[in-house]
Structure 1
Amino acid sequence: MTGCTFPTEWAKQAAVLMALPHAATDWADDLKGALRPFVRIASTIARDQPLLLVCDDAEAAKMLFCDTRNITFIELPTDDTWARDFGPITLCCDGGRRFLDFTFNGWGGKFPSAKDNAITAELVRLGYLWGACETVDFVLEGGSIETDGRGTLLTTSRCLLNPNRNPGMTKEQIETLLKEKLCVERILWLDHGELEGDDTDAHIDTLARFVNEETIVYVACDDPTDSHYEELGKMQRQLERFRTPEGDPYRLVPLPMPSAIVKEGRRLPATYANFLITNHSVLLPVYNDPKDAEARAIMTELFPDREVVPIDCTRLIEQGGSLHCVTMQIPACR
């Protein structure tokens, strides 16, 4: 697409999109407890920049906040709360925005998705998102892709090549479509790495993230007795083989793995890689774990010009996602 770029998360943002849990979602068994991290995340974002907050009852939602400045409450029906995956993927085109409305199918048909899949088009129709909108007949979630902002896409083969997303399409066909729609020149495919309890089929935002054009942070496991040890080791070795557009190795920064969090016999996919970069802050998921402090120190060193804000995401991870999963940035494109 001529004149368009796929901006990084650290580029200037106009807003962030979120959706609140409600009684008809999977959070219903402890809705009050579920709302706590959502309100904390939303309040932290709105402290510095606008927030679009989708909710089933705007007046009730307002009562959750002491300060509603910078928050726009939008009443729309939702299936769930994972705005990263059903929200718009935004291109910057000649100073304006172009929203790509890919198909969201509930991570390969695992969960209901029709209401969430309609949200981007509704936000554009109602005027909450300003810019052109293109409906793309291709299943893609925002959590499955990372960009360096200069033509490189980082993703995982376990997700994008999974037959539960776009059956019948070859890797070459998927690459061609992504390069055209996302205005990227090359795709780096990670073939290893997946967290137990992850319903997304190995979203990249649980495993490895760009923090600048030359640096990738990634989840590392140094415990040979951990079930993730072998796969994450293979992922690290593949990352070491990746090169920047200039042909140089990336600077790789390992993030620790939180201790295993188990609920009803199921290990949950806790990860520090699921952080959100905003205009002035980095919101870091933490899990009441001794390694929280180490993860925060690493991120503080990587982002000296932003405040690193730890947010307890223990309740979020019980539903299989974390902080980045419930947010989607809208670039300023200027």
Structure 2
Amino acid sequence: MTRSVPAEWEAHKALWLGFPSHENLWQEDLIPAQAEVAALARTLCELGDENVKLMVMGEAARAAAEELLGDIKRLEIIDGRFGDIWFRDTGPIYVSDDADDDDIHQALPISFLNNGWGGKYHLKHDDEVALQISQADGYPQTLQDFILEGGALDHDGHGTAITTRQCLLNPNRNPGWTQSLAEEALFQSLGIRKVIWLDDGLLNDHTDGHVDNLARFVAPGVVACPVSFGREDPNAEVYDATARLLSTQHDARGQALQVVRIPSPGEILDEDGEIVPASHMNFLIANDCVVVPIYEDRPGELAVEALQSLFPERQVLGLSSRAILTGGGSFHCISQQVPLIKA
């Protein structure tokens, strides 16, 4: 049996999104966050050539989604149960699996244990999301016996993954894990043959440094990571250390990595004046477009321009994600793609 995680830029059969549904969690940001997710869903259907599966929870959330998106083709609104919308972390990771026959490949959702991001956010039903998505897609659940969130990894489609030690080796996930134990678990479950280890993620990132806020594959052998914007950028040292380390690395094929720097959002503060982990790296790659989260106009425009040069065959555009960010993440965090795997 051979497994591999398809790269995000490979063809999608469908794309799952979580719709903000819990007023007690989102409070005054609920309606703005719903509007931002609706704008994303509309863009993915109309410009991204995606079949979007939007999961909602409760009658009020369904009514809001239907009011915002009821006229959209290729959109399916699905009732479900979830603690919050971070499906990148609570949903399954799809692999291509040859099922012991090199000529027959199939998509297989791999699910993992969930402990609320190291015990910080235990939300009812989050541990049910992966099973619901697998069943809705018509697959049995394949559950691993260790804790992993999808946003902790980024994949190149050739057996290479990037992650951070801050998250993957954090004792609040899998106590006693070493790099070698983690690598063996990722090989057995996802077919990952080479892990590139970064150190820390963004300041105040409650995920303990998910890599999808820091470094992303944009093509085989090519990784994007931020460059600081403005003198007050709180992550400038982390960005530079990440770029230096990546420039010394090779992928699973033995190819040296090319590193491309993308302007960061700079210092972004919440309403209490606290630094929040805003990142343009949390972009979402769709079939025909790339959607970049925008928090402030100027750095957002620069990030879109830089990413457009990396995705010449896709339209790259920016959408507001300021309200979604109040929940702790952005577009990549609320999505999970189902790859189109040809037998």
Q: Structure 2 length as normaliser, TM-score?
A: 0.91
Which residue number corresponds to residue 113 of structure 1? 123
Matched, 1:314 2:322: yes
Matches of 1:23 and 1:41, distance apart in 2: 19
Output the CA distance in 1 between the equivalents of 2:291 and 2:199: 28
| Aligned match of 2:66 | 62
Q: Is the 8 Å Cα contact of residues 2 and 191 (structure 2) preserved in structure 1? A: no
Q: Which residue number in structure 1 is paired with residue 31 of structure 2?
A: 32
Question: Match for residue 340 of structure 2?
Answer: 332
| Deviation string, structure 1 residues 65-110 (Cα, Å, up to 9, x no partner) | 1523212221112211111111110011233211111112221111
AA aligned to 2:257 is: Y
Contact 2:264 2:303 in 1 (8 A): no
Match of 1:228 among 228, 235, 256: 235
User: Which of the numbers 240, 256, 268 marks the counterpart of 2:263?
Assistant: 256
- Report Cα offsets for 1:169-213 as digits up to 9, x if no partner: 332211111111111211111124x22231111111000000000
Q: Which residue of 85, 88, 98 maps to 1:84? A: 88
Check 1:318–1:59 CA distance in 2 against 1; reply closer, same or farther (3 A cut).
closer
1:25: Cα distance to partner?
A: 4.7
Q: CA deviation at 1:63?
A: 1.8
Relative to 1, partners in 2 of residues 1:275 and 1:325: Cα closer, same or farther, differing over 3 Å? same
Specify the alignment match of 2:101 in structure 1.
none
Aligned residues: 330
Percent of pairs with identical residues: 33
Give 1:246 shift.
Answer: 4.7
Q: Deviations over 1:120-173 (max 9, x none)?
A: 212333xx2123420112111111101111111111110000011111233221
Q: Does structure 2 conserve the Cα–Cα contact (< 8 Å) formed by 1:196 and 1:268?
A: yes
> How far is 1:314 from its partner?
1.3
Q: State the SS of the aligned residue for 1:79.
A: coil
Q: 4+ residue stretches of structure 1 with deviation over 4 A?
A: 222-225
The residue type paired with residue 260 of structure 2 is V
Structure 1 equivalent of residue 196 of structure 2: 188
Q: Which amino acid is 2:50 matched to?
A: Q
Give the 3-state SS of the residue equivalent to 2:243 in structure 1.
Answer: helix
- Rounded to whole Å, the distance in 2 between the matches of 1:60 and 1:286 is 23
**2:222–2:257 contact (8 Å) kept in structure 1:** yes
Q: How does 1:255-274 map to 2 (within 5 A)?
A: 255-263=262-270, 264-274=272-282
Q: Say what the alpha-carbon RMSD is for the aligned residues.
A: 1.7
Is the CA contact 2:107–2:341 (under 8 Å) kept in the aligned structure 1?
Answer: yes
Q: Displacement of 1:230 after TM fit?
A: 2.3
Mapped partners of 1:231, 1:123: distance in 2: 35
Q: Where in structure 2 are the equivalents of 1:129-278 lying within 5 Å?
A: 129-192=137-200, 194-221=201-228, 226-263=233-270, 264-278=272-286
Could you tell me which runs of 5 or more consecutive residues in structure 2 were left unpaired when the two chains were aligned.
Answer: 99-104
- Give the Cα separation in 2 of the matches to 1:181 and 1:103: 13
How far did 1:328 drift? Answer: 0.9
* 8 A contact 1:282–1:309 mirrored in 2: yes
For residue 69 of structure 2, give the secondary structure of its aligned residue in structure 1. Answer: coil
Alignment match, 2:13: 14
- The amino acid of 1:38's aligned partner reads V
User: Which residue of structure 2 aligns with residue 282 of structure 1?
Assistant: 290
Q: List runs of 5+ in structure 1 lacking aligned partners.
A: none
Q: Please state whether the residue corresponding to 1:42 is helix, strand or coil.
A: helix
